[in-house]
Structure 1
């Protein structure tokens, strides 16, 4: 849903004073007073910038998921570990592709609960490209041509197929409950853009409900109903932004917990656990650039040279702590880092991923996850405290180090 930010002009010049009218319900899983808290399980949140918590105050310029976003709020209340894998700009087609990457698949397999919020960008990127969201000074809603209507219904049909595939893939990896959020209308009724969004997203919401009804242990969290009439309270409209504010994220957490109540008995400890998946994201221009930050306690830098890409792309780095199978003799797991780009991006030149940690030894080796196996990566540079990987495609990389020699 990031496409809306910067694409929508001022919606109104007069602030409206409204209250939410929505009481926060008690936690679905919170321990009663005096009881022993249950062991922590893992919530894996899949989605776009809404899940990520885009433009909230603690995202470090939208590079890390927000602790004020609904996945973290549910986790804090219900004692879940949280893997927030919301990727800004993500469409349903891109999510259907990325969840099949080893790092995302492991996270899903280790989930106790999965939340899913996707679809806003499918239509809104198209609407923005067609200029339908640009003129907020208009007094009437824009009219679609016959050709545009045909494009819209093609996009809606593709979304329905993608959403069905996403849910089916998640269900093939885990029996954990899935909370599927439907889409809210961010525009207040006074805006002509409200009618456009209302019509477009109603079709996607119908597809979400249809898939949820036909699937096992999937329930819909009704974001549309929660936000309807509350846009000035729940959305960052005063900042000319249609993402949820902190109050809106709390509302999303609340309806997520309410939805989970009906599936509480379905929660199980996963057979496979990947632990918490940490996320770092950023935009890389076609002219090149770098994504830097701290990921899972280590400094990382993803660098792409000029003209390495056919287009600008959202890049994401993830890191997990897990135990790979069939490790080479005399080597042990040290760290895992995965690199993903938008599915439409093509790499024409190699990127470099550099990981800095004083514990990295000179004899560290790198392997790429391929199915259930590991293939050694030769294009690396290692010195004590730093390791660089050079590649021309997305990859899931495992760093191994020599086993410590037994004393005596």
Structure 2
């Protein structure tokens, strides 16, 4: 068993070239916070990137930040916050959900898993903000894609192709991101007591208005008590986040209160408490219970999500809450993962993607963790893997068995 701990880009290249020469599959690890995501690997060798860390470029006036792959996200977010800036896509932290400490994720893992948060409705995910990347392919070759400017017209952007590749195509050694000013003011409207279907309609009205809602989520009664240290009093809570300059936020709050007056009692949460609420929604804190009970991340048609949950509850014990206006459903199963039932219902209610993000190792080894691809797309993915990693040495089988 060999563990590489590179501190220079050339050492990463050498480690991959050794793996190619030896035909020895390797696991790619940053800080290890997402190591239990995806299918379990059976590799004897590891390339640990935690020692390859540090900011390589930061120009606040140009809204550009670059860093090495092993750099902790928490370190970068602190740097940005000190300059009144942020990653606009607010990358989630999987650590607590997977039984690990918060704040341990790395920049390389952020891109590889294409992280995002509740603001994704307006701001997209990591792939929408990456400007450039340096990558060591599975051939042991170093290449660069993209640049350090917002406008890039060089053709197909491989820097975006690295997003959501889960370390199976190459090792991103250095990544450059677009950053943006952090919102000056944040206020969250809390509508009390709505059923899941009523919440879906209220969120649709809010998102379709001129209120410029940045995030919309619904926490059913059995989830609402697990955020903000119980401050929501265990009442079903539909939450709408507004951001921007204080006068604009105040005007939009008043407008939305009038627009949604018939929905029920509406409270407001502001400042740090609002930020804490959305961080807990983002990081799935309601289900970060120290267990391995199966947790699904389901992306689907927003107005159909409550139907999926209701149908599941007819045959299984399931807890759920809704982000992205209902387009992202977090499900915690009390027993078996119910993979076939979950995916059949996703297809029934408009289609989407269901990813098993937490489960015991034996279950993750036996089930398709990621949404199975149609044959044509699966063939394309296999050809892409062949181009970047013909020997199949980088995180083999992490996403799909045998690929």
TM (norm. structure 1) is 0.27
* Bigger relative CO (Cα 8 Å, ≥ 6 apart): 2
Question: Taking structure 2 as the reference length, what is the TM-score of the superposition?
Answer: 0.28
Higher helix share: 2
